[in-house]
Amino acid sequence: MLLALGAVLTLSLMCSTQATNLNLRSLAQKQGLNIGAAVLTGVLQKEPTYRRVLAREFNMLTPENHMKFKPLHPERDRYDFAPADVLVDFAKENDMQVRGHTLVWHHSLPEWLEKGEWTREELMAILQEHIYTVVERYRGQVVEWDVVNEAIADDASLRKSIWLNVIGSDYIEMAFRWAHEADPTVKLFYNDYGSEGINSKSDAIYALVKSLRDRHVPIDGVGLQMHVRADKPPSAEKVAANMKRLGELGLEVHITEMDVKIEHATGTLEEKLTAQANVYRDMMQVCLTAENCDTFVLWGFTDLHSWIPRYLKQPDSPLIFDKFYNPKPAYDALVEVLN
C-alpha cells in the first residue's frame, strides 16, 4: 500500500513538473523555433507579471517602439538608447534573442527630420549615419533587423514617403547595404503587412526582393507581419505558397507581428475565441511546415497592452493571453501544434 502510494505521489510530481515545463518557449525550442513577442519598455519596467510571463513563454523579443527612428533619434545630433537598452539587457538576462525593428519606415519620424528641407545628398547622409550608428551599437546583440518596413503601399506601388520623395526608390537598396556594412553578421529583412498570401501586394514585394537578390543586395528574408482578423483568416495554402516562392529566391520568411482581431467576428465570445485560435494554429502549422520559416513573433502577448485598442480606438482581444494574463484558446492552440 505504501509502495503504491509512493508511486502515485511520484507520478503526481512528474505530471506537475511536465505541466510547469509545458510552455511555448520550451516547446518551440524543441522544434528549433524562435517564438517571440513585441515588448513595451515602460510596461516591462513596471509590471512583474508582464516580465515573468514574457521570460517564461518566449525566447525572442522585438522592441515594439523604442528602436524606431523617432524615439531612438529625437534630435539630429542626439540619440536616446536608454529605453531600447532596457529591452536588450532583459533579453540577455533571460537568454532571449532580439529582433531589431525598424531602421527605415515612413512613420515614427522625428519632427526635425520631417520638417527639414533636405537635398538628396543630405538625406542620404542622415539615413546612412542613422543606420551605421544604430546597427553598430547593437552589433552582436540584435540577431536580425527589419531594415525597411512597409515600403509597398496597399495598391502595390512604392509607398510615398520622405525617403522615396527625396532620395528615390534606391533608398531601399542603400539601407540594406549600409546595414550590412555596419554589421555583416546580422540578418536583414524586408517587413510588411497585408502580403501574407498571394495577392497584388505580395506580388509587388516578391518583385522587389527578387530585384534586390538579382543585384546581390544583402537581404536575408521577408517578414510577414500577420495583423489579421478571425472573420477573414489568411489562407494557409496561399501563405505556404508565398513562403515557398520566397524560399526559392533563397530567402527566409518569418511571421513577425502576429495578432488576430475578433471584434468583427460573429457569434458568442467563445465562438470568436475559437475562430481566433484556429488562425493562430493554422499559421503556426504553416511556419513549422515551411523549410524557410523558423521564427514566429506576436505583436504583444497580453490583451492588456495590445496596440489595437490604442491605435484603432476600438476594443479588441487579439492576443494569446487575456487582460489578466490567463492563457486563451489561442495559446492552447499554439501549444497543441508545437507539442
Write the pLDDT tens digit of every residue in 16-31. 333 446 899 999 999 9
pLDDT score for 102: 98
**Residue 316 structural domain:** 27-338
**Grid cell locating 39:** 515588448
**Grid cell locating 85:** 537598452
Q: Residue 153 and residue 210: Cα distance in Å, rounded? A: 18
> Is 9 within the bounds of a domain?
no
Start-to-end C-alpha separation, the chain: 35
Centroid of chain to Cα 300 = 9
> Is 17 within the bounds of a domain?
no
Of 57, 64, 252, 257, catalytic: 257
Stretches where the chain sits below pLDDT 50 are 1-20
Of 150, 173, 196, 263, catalytic: 150
Contact 108, 70 (CB under 8 A): yes
pTM passes above 0.85 = yes
Please indicate whether residue 257 is annotated as part of the active site.
Answer: yes
Q: Residue 65 and residue 83: Cα distance in Å, rounded? A: 9
> Is 270 within the bounds of a domain?
yes
> Is 238 within the bounds of a domain?
yes
pLDDT score for 19: 41
pLDDT score for 21: 60
Please indicate whether residue 271 is annotated as part of the active site.
Answer: no
150 Rama sector, left if φ>0, alpha if ψ -120 to 50, beta otherwise? left
> How far lies 3's CA from each of 6, 12, 13, 17, in Å?
5, 14, 15, 21
pLDDT score for 10: 37
Q: Which of 275, 261, 240, 251 is nearest to 303 (CA)?
A: 261
Q: Report the CATH number that the domain containing residue 175 is assigned in CATH.
A: 3.20.20.80
> Is 66 within the bounds of a domain?
yes
pLDDT score for 22: 85
Contacts of 217 (CB under 8 A, 6+ apart): 173, 176, 177
pLDDT score for 138: 98
Structural domains of the chain, count:
1
Q: Residue 339 and residue 331: Cα distance in Å, rounded? A: 12
> Is 111 within the bounds of a domain?
yes
> How far lies 153's CA from each of 161, 191, 204, 227, in Å?
10, 12, 9, 15
